[in-house]
Amino acid sequence: MRFAALLNRFWHVLTLVALLAISAQAFAQTDPLASWNDGPAKQAIINFVQATTDQSSPTFVPAEGRIATFDQDGTLWVEHPMYSQVMYCLERVPAVVKAKPELAKVEPFKTVLSGNREAMAKLSMKDLEKILAATLTGMSVDEFNTEAKAWLETVKDPRWKRPYTELTYLPMQDVLKYLRANGYKTYIVTGGGQDFVRVYAEQVYGIPPEQVVGTAGGTTYGYTKNGKPFLTKEPKLLLNDNNAGKPEGIHLMIGRRPNAAFGNSTGDRQMLEYAKAADGARLSMLVLHDDATREYAYGPAQGLPATKVGTFTQALYDEAKAKGWTVISMKSDWKRIFASSDQ
């Protein structure tokens, strides 16, 4: 009986081991990029990961050196018809004017308060900068985080009537997870505000604040009346994380060249170029918005005029082809667009 009991336990152990082995195999066989259609874009990602993580590959990269950078607006989530952060700043104007009533009669605040969309669309870059400075600086870091978080929880995209945080692209979420599962540190490198994106990046993309690089202003360390230290956001630009500012920001914040980079507009051009211009296996990818039905189609590659945001010009398309960057067609490469389950 004692032998029988022992044997019974032994078989139990063996069964468990077998089950574990089967599960592991099943897991390995699950397609980590199931939201992608088979094609050159999907294959480029898989080839890159194999070339940099297979120890026998001549282009193998040790785990601690694996860095991938992602633009955000238009690359990880919807940017059309307006960057969510610009929307945030415009919607913060009434609160700012309430605190400083003298602004009500001053441009560009007067125009924003009027609610006249046509007049607002004509605001210059300089006007926009004034609005950004007034709505993104002058408060403590904690106050800003609270305000931005509350806004993101209530605001909805006009077309899908859903929070922006639910309008991320499933295929890109899958790429983020696939790269992380293969030892890559994933970074957001955005022209948007670093502090703004940090408010939600961990919850939405699994990317912690320290892995968000963005347009950043200075802060000033000071004290409350009770002597408690806090940081105030200042209207002093430290990093304009667009165009050449992207590789410059990557150097400042990460300190090494990414092996892979993903973008969708001319603002990402230099980042993609920088990631690709080194030895070894490199991956630079551009998301092309060519799906008017499921999302939007814009950019001259579709023979359509560029929108004010996310300019993907014909020149960028040609450069991508010439330099071996991979263009991702939302229409043909993505099986599904959005990460939220009912879209």
CB of 64 to a copy of itself, least distance (A): 6
CB nearer a copy of itself, residue 308 or residue 323: 323
329: which strand partners?
288
Q: Quick one: which of 64, 102, 279, 342 contacts a copy of itself (CB under 8 A)? A: 64
CB nearer a copy of itself, residue 195 or residue 295: 195
- Told to check if 180 binds a copy of itself by CB under 8 A, we report no
CB of 59 to a copy of itself, least distance (A): 19
Unique residue bearing structure tokens 């989530």: 77
> Among 2-10, 126-134, 282-290, 297-305, which window interacts with a copy of itself (CB under 8 A)?
2-10
Q: Quick one: which of 39, 115, 209, 324 contacts a copy of itself (CB under 8 A)? A: 209
CB of 260 to a copy of itself, least distance (A): 16
- Told to check if 258 binds a copy of itself by CB under 8 A, we report no
CB of 251 to a copy of itself, least distance (A): 5
CB of 195 to a copy of itself, least distance (A): 8
Q: One symbol per residue from 268 to 287: x for binding a copy of itself (CB under 8 A), - otherwise; what is it? A: --x--xx--x----------
Contacts to a copy of itself by CB under 8 A: 3, 6-7, 9-10, 13, 64, 141, 185, 194-195, 198, 202, 208-210, 212, 216, 218-221, 228-229, 231, 238-239, 244, 247-248, 251-256, 270, 273-274, 277
